[in-house]
């Protein structure tokens, strides 16, 4: 089944938005299979954002993500990657629709509160990068048949 990585970035943790962000995804019906509050090392930040290396915003992005604790969450479920991206909204909060996390709580692109994996392959890879196998739990939420048709 699809897996995806959600990061609640330092600004969202500092602003007390952990709960509302988790709730939005949880209520959508995805199954949380791993979660941890952690400080991001420079090495992990650079690996995670390697695709953006050399871009003008790269140094600030690494500084931002390593500046204070983040919450990393692995989610599983049908269409998990697209669902989390939809809940988060567009990268630039002023372009994100109202009703999305970024559209409701964000303003600057460099303080956009969250990260969500952007493809099925990256979802698998990012969950592996951020979690060890024994940090991921195999369980079933009750009533998943009322969320997923198959
Ligand atoms: P997303 O986080 O929506 O997947 P992305 O992968 O293109 O967006 O970029 C990663 C992060 O880098 C993004 O959350 C915020 C920052 N960023 C992206 N484009 C930016 C820009 N033009 N100026 C400043 N920061 C930017
Ligand atoms: Mg991205």
What average pLDDT does the chain have?
A: 98
| pLDDT at residue number 133 | 98
85 Cα nearest atom in ligand 1:
3
| Distance of alpha carbon 145 from alpha carbon 129, whole angstroms | 30
Q: What is the pLDDT of residues 61-111, one digit of tens each?
A: 999 999 999 999 999 999 999 999 999 999 999 999 999 999 999 999 999
Q: Hey, what are 126's tokens? A: 């990012």
Q: Dihedral sign, CA of 49, 40, 84, 143? A: positive
Pocket residue to mutate for ligand 1, from 12, 50, 57, 101, most atoms within 8 A of Cβ: 57
51 Cα nearest atom in ligand 1:
6
DSSP H helices in 3-148: 10-14, 18-28, 42-48, 58-65, 80-88, 101-105, 120-130
| Distance of alpha carbon 9 from alpha carbon 139, whole angstroms | 26
Active-site hit among 61, 112, 115, 123: 115
* 115 is known as an active-site residue: yes
Q: Is the CB of 100 under 6 A from ligand 1?
A: no
Per domain, the residue ranges of the chain are 2-134
Contact 36, 140 (CB under 8 A): no
Q: Is the CB of 9 under 6 A from ligand 1?
A: no
110 Cα nearest atom in ligand 1:
25
Q: Is 90 exceeded by the pLDDT of residue 141? A: yes
| pLDDT at residue number 5 | 99
Q: Dihedral sign, CA of 124, 125, 127, 132? A: positive
Contact 34, 131 (CB under 8 A): yes
Percent residues over pLDDT 90 in the chain: 99
Q: Is 90 exceeded by the pLDDT of residue 18? A: yes
Structure confidence at residue 150 as a pLDDT band (50, 70, 90): confident
Domain 2-134: state its class: alpha beta
């Amino acid at each position: 089944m699809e897996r995806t990585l959600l990061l609640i970035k330092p600004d969202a943790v500092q602003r007390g938005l952990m709960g509302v962000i988790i709730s939005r995804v949880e209520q959508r019906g995805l199954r949380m299979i791993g979660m941890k509050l952690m400080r991001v090392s420079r090495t992990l930040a650079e690996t995670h954002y390697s695709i953006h290396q050399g871009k003008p915003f790269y140094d600030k992005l690494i500084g931002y993500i390593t500046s204070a604790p983040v919450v990393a969450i692995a989610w599983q479920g049908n269409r998990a990657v697209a669902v989390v991206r939809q809940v988060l909204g567009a990268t630039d909060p002023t372009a994100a629709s109202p009703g999305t996390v970024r559209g409701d709580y964000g303003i600057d692109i460099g303080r956009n509160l969250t990260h969500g994996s952007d493809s099925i392959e990256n979802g698998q890879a990012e969950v592996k990068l951020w979690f060890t196998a024994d940090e991921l739990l195999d369980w079933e939420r009750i009533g998943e048949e009322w969320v997923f048709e198959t």
